Structure formats: C-alpha cells, structure tokens
Homo-oligomer: A and B are copies of this chain.
Amino acid sequence: MAIWVALDAMGGDFAPRATVEGALLALKEFSDLGIYLVGQPEIIASLLKRKKNRRLEIVPASQVVAMDESPIGALRTKQDSSIRKAFELLKEGRAQALVSAGNSGAVLATALFVLGRIKGVSRPAIATVLPTIKGSAVMIDSGANVDCKPHHLLQFAHMGMVFCREILGVSSPRVGLLSIGEEGGKGNNLVKRAHQLLSQSQLNYVGNIEGRDIYRGDVDVIVCDGFVGNICLKLSEGLAEALMCMMAQEIKKHRLAQLGFTFARTALKNFRARIDWRERGGAPLLGVKGVVIISHGRSDACAIKNALGTALGFVREEIVANLTEALENLPAVLSQGEK
C-alpha cells in the first residue's frame, strides 16, 4: 500500500515548477509513494501536462503564502493556502507526511495550530544532520526557535537523541551542549541553566562542547537554540564557499597544482552539499504530531524528490510514534525543566 505525502506545491523560490518536477521524479524512484500536490489546480495541471498517475492527485488550494510573509498573519488570513490545506490532509490522516519548501515560519505556525505538539514538548525544533570527520551528528535546533528557555534545550536534547537513535542508528547517542568553554560554568545564562538540567537527565550527556568540536565527531547530538544553530549552519556553508575562493587564489600561483585542486574542490563541494541537509533531503520538524519535512527555500526538483524520500523514511521508521513514546516516558526529567 502506498504511503501518501502532502506536498506544498506552491512553496519555495522555484515553486511550482520545482515541486511538480520533484514530485514526478519521486514517483519514478519510490514505488510505494503517493503524492498530493497541494496548490492552484490550473497552474499545477499545466505543469503536469498530460502525465497521469494513480499515485498523484491534485488537491486545490487557492492561496499562496509568500516567502517573506508574516507567519501569524498568513495563518489568520490565508485559510485556503497550500500550506494550510497540506496540513489538513495530514491531520485528517489522508496523508502520512508533509513536505514544504515554503515560508518556514508559516510551516511551523501552521504545524502547531493544525497538528499540535507531542505531549512533553513545549517547542518543536528542526533537526539537521551535519557531516563530521567521523560520520554524522544532529544539530537541534537549527532555526525554529530563536529565543529559548533552558527546559526547551533539554527537550531538544531528548528529541535529538531519539532521532539519532532511530534514524542514524546510534544506540546511545552522546549529547553535547554548544557553549564557549568546556567547563559547566561557561556560557550565557541560558546555556548555564540548560547545563544543569542536562546534567541531571538520564541522557548520555557529555557536557559543553565548543564551536570547534561541532565537526570533530565526538558527539552525536549538538544542542543549541535556533538562533545560534541557524548562524552555525549558514556560517559553515559560507565558509566552505569562501575557502574554495581562497584556495583558488592560492593555487592560481602554482600551475602544477591545478590538477590536485580539482579534487580538493570536489571535497569542498561535497561538504557544502552535505552540510545543507534541507537542500538535500529536507530537515524534520520534531515535536509535532505528524511527519513534517522542511526543505530549503531554494530547493530544486532534485531536492524536492529527496525530501519526499526522507518523508517516506520517517513514516516507515515510525519516528513520531517513537518520539512520542520516548518523551511520554520521561515526565520526571522534562517536568523539572518546566519549573
């Protein structure tokens, strides 16, 4: 039986062309996938041409939320937006997952409004998989919550741990708190208090880590607020790009070196592609009652196809059920944070 995913066909810088093309690619690649293309029917139909597929269905939504629109405003005034309709399909159980490359603030707000949160979660968070020297690590939150309380970070840690265990297959994920010194006393007020909560938790908490440890691979889950997480992700992306330019400048001086440079550049390009997981396969919004995959605003058809594949994996691995179970079984630890 097919797993149906609601795709926000109107969301993203290159929508609806990229979303429709991505959906067609995904149908070819994943034989158990069904897609609801949610958005303006005429436009979507014109892009589909006459391609018919039993696993593809257009669901009409007359409105589009702009990329820079106020999330709360959109929630209030655009009740027939593609984002809203897609979430309703998920809520009704017609779809088992949702993918959107649209206004991520609006996706977050609508997720909270339509789906609601898993018990024990105050704030849903975005989990991003980063490449490290030794493999992969999960950074949570990578952008959903800019102002956090200590118990939010504790909850992020729990969600990141479950995600890491279920999706990356790490049996006892090591959790680190991003700060500016290894000692527990180092950091801003938020991090100092979060450190205390994490130290008392049953997590495999290794303590504070510093910026230079992120890519070292000694922890599996990196906990931070969404402001810091987002800056770290974008800095990494930008630095990889800048280093490529600096290397090119260096190497121009040495003609013999240009051959080797090709390979160095490949490594950097791979890194850049791996670092922005949203661009590759979307990043999950953890903590809401449903599988929600947020893709990068500038997703192309291939990125959309990958995000649909990610959604499929999350449904198969029953990540939401596992998260719900893990968080419900930890009332003592989480309620400490609620004080």
Contact = CB atoms under 8 A, between A and B. Distances in A.
Interface of A: 68, 131-133, 143, 146-147, 178-180, 183, 187-189, 191, 210-216, 225-228, 230-243, 245-247, 249-251, 254, 256-264, 266-268, 270-271
Contact of A214 (B214, B238, B257): B238
Given A133-B242, A180-B226, A239-B239, 17 more contacts: A133-B246, A147-B188, A180-B230, A187-B227, A188-B225, A211-B230, A211-B236, A214-B238, A246-B267, A246-B270, A246-B271, A247-B263, A247-B268, A251-B267, A260-B261, A260-B263, A264-B264
A188 B257 CA distance: 45
Tell me the number of copies of this protein: 2
**Which 4 pairs across A and B sit closest by C-beta, in order of nearness?**
A260-B260, A211-B234, A212-B238, A215-B242
B238 A211 contact: yes
A188 B242 CA distance: 26
A250 B237 contact: no
Given A227-B180, A251-B263, A235 B238 contact: no
Contact of A146 (B68, B187, B246, B262): B187
Given A180-B231, A233-B211, A237-B212, A251 B242 contact: no
Contacts of A211: 230-238
Contacts of A264: 247, 250-251, 257, 260-261, 264
A189 B237 CA distance: 25
A226 B181 CA distance: 12
Contact of A259 (B227, B256, B268): B256
* Secondary structure dominating the interface of A: helix
Given A146-B188, A267-B247, A210 B239 contact: no
Contacts of A238: 210-216
Contact of A180 (B146, B191, B243): B146
A297 B274 CA distance: 33
Contacts of A227: 179-180, 187-188, 191, 228
Nearest to A192: B146
A283 to B, nearest CB: 15
A212 B235 contact: yes
Nearest to A183: B68
Contacts of A246: 131, 133, 267, 270-271
A66 to B, nearest CB: 12
Contacts of A179: 227, 231
Contacts of A183: 68
Contacts of A249: 267
Contacts of A146: 180, 187-189
Contact of A215 (B187, B239, B250, B257): B239
A231 B232 CA distance: 8
A276 to B, nearest CB: 10
A126 to B, nearest CB: 12
A146 to B, nearest CB: 4
